[in-house]
Amino acid sequence: KRKAGEEITAQMYNFIDKEGAEVTLRPEMTPTLARMVMQKMDERGEIRELMPLKWFSIPQCWRFETVQRGRKREHYQWNMDIVGVAGVTAELELLAAITTFFQSIGITAKDVGIKINSRKVLGAIVEAAGVPKEMFAPVCVIIDKLDKIGPENVTKELTDKKVPLESSKMILRAMECKSIEELAELCKGKVDMTAVEELKMLFAYAKDYGFYDFLIFDASVVRGLAYYTGIVFECFDRQKKLRAICGGGRYDRLLSLYGSSKEVPCCGFGFGDCVIMELLKELKLMDKVLDECKRQVDFVVAPFNKELFGAACSIATLLRSGGFSVDMMQKAEKKVRNAFSYADRAGGKYIVLVAPTEWEKKAVTVKSLRTGDREDEDRGEEIALADLVEKMQKAFSR
């Protein structure tokens, strides 16, 4: 609880089991990753793996909160993290992964934007405003609600936390900056400018990487989790109809909370399945994406009768040894039409028919299910077993 902060603590799906033990269903994967990395450390705090570590997962997560559009108590979340890189090149790589995914499913920079800010800059501003360091995390949780409750209510909540009014005004003034240049001007002479330069560098590299159009500087983005220490980001639809699509940032001190003798630079993001599904519906892209995600397999192997089932199994093994994906039909089909129907529904690119006449000649018939209707393709091609893998590897390489 103390490692993630009060926001996620309030959303934990927890209960007491029949043996009286306190149980919490997993709210996120970042602490799990931290423990995994710790297990790879030696007594000097060095990680015994090729660095940097690049890791992803798609776990099931739970949060006890109000069910609404794009928000469920149970969901799947795509996570990506990079461990061991102190500079913004790690954040750059993560943002590249997110934007590449968007483009792969037809979502453009006109549809979504990724808001970027720095907790490091905010920390310096909060400290310059006279707020004690130990109050930084609670202040971030309040500021994170700026879009939802407005500046007046944020000021009220900060006052309730004993933050002086003038300090609240200074913090909110920083949150209202519309550009990195404006933020830099506000910070000049008051805070260390290193974090501001990091933001500038990230945007500059994004141009080279080709996803600059997705990025938006937004000084009000702070993320609610307590462990963030540097650049943070959240992705929203441009129409502002939905909740955040994904979010993440840098968390350089989290491993230290779990006992690491050294501070290990880390950054990552979480990308839930709920909001992206709603966005695909909004953009009328769902049917296209589902069609592209249909099951596909290289070969469906169809035995003509039960006597040839063993022979068909050997063909399946032969093709798999050549690196192909194979769906082995579990029931012999004397009616070729039925075998073709199954192969088509299974997403097969080719069907391999294991029939008595061809098998006696140590051959099989291979037919493409995804090409034109030329007569030679329609009948299929008889291929000797000795040539099968090599010939099909050439066919796939074309």
Q: What is the pLDDT of residues 314-336, one digit of tens each?
A: 999 999 999 999 999 998 877 88
pLDDT of residue 378: 58
Query: For residue 118, what are the β-bridge partners?
Result: 231
pLDDT of residue 71: 81
pLDDT of residue 374: 38
Which helix (H) or strand (E) element contains residue 389?
A: helix 385-397
Q: How many residues does the chain have?
A: 398
What token pair was written down for 219?
């000084």
Per-residue exposure over 261-283, b if at least 16 CB sit within 10 Å of its own CB, e if not: eeebbbbbbbbbebbbebbbeeb
- Name the stretches of the chain with pLDDT < 70: 1-9, 224-225, 371-378
The residue among 320, 392, 390 whose CA lies nearest residue 350 is 392
Q: What is the pLDDT of residues 76-100, one digit of tens each?
A: 999 999 999 999 999 999 999 999 9
pLDDT of residue 371: 65
pLDDT of residue 222: 82
Which helix (H) or strand (E) element contains residue 199?
A: helix 194-209
pLDDT of residue 7: 55
What token pair was written down for 99?
């934007």
Nearest 10 degrees: CA dihedral of 11, 13, 14, 18?
A: 170
Strand extents, DSSP E, 46-126: 53-57, 60-62, 74-83, 112-118
Across all residues in the chain, what is the average pLDDT? 88
The bridge status of strand 231-237 relative to strand 215-217 is unpaired
Per-residue exposure over 36-54, b if at least 16 CB sit within 10 Å of its own CB, e if not: ebeeebeeeeebeeeebbb
Strand order across the beta sheet in which 348-354 lies = 326-328, 297-303, 348-354, 363-368, 381-384
pLDDT of residue 188: 79
Q: Which bin fits 293, alpha (ψ -120 to 50), beta or left (φ > 0)?
A: alpha
pLDDT of residue 144: 80
- Report the alpha-carbon distance of residue 218 to residue 153 in Å, rounded: 20
Contact status, residue 27 vs residue 62, Cβ threshold 8 Å: yes
The residue among 110, 369, 120 whose CA lies nearest residue 222 is 120
Contacts of 137 (CB under 8 A, 6+ apart): 5, 6, 226
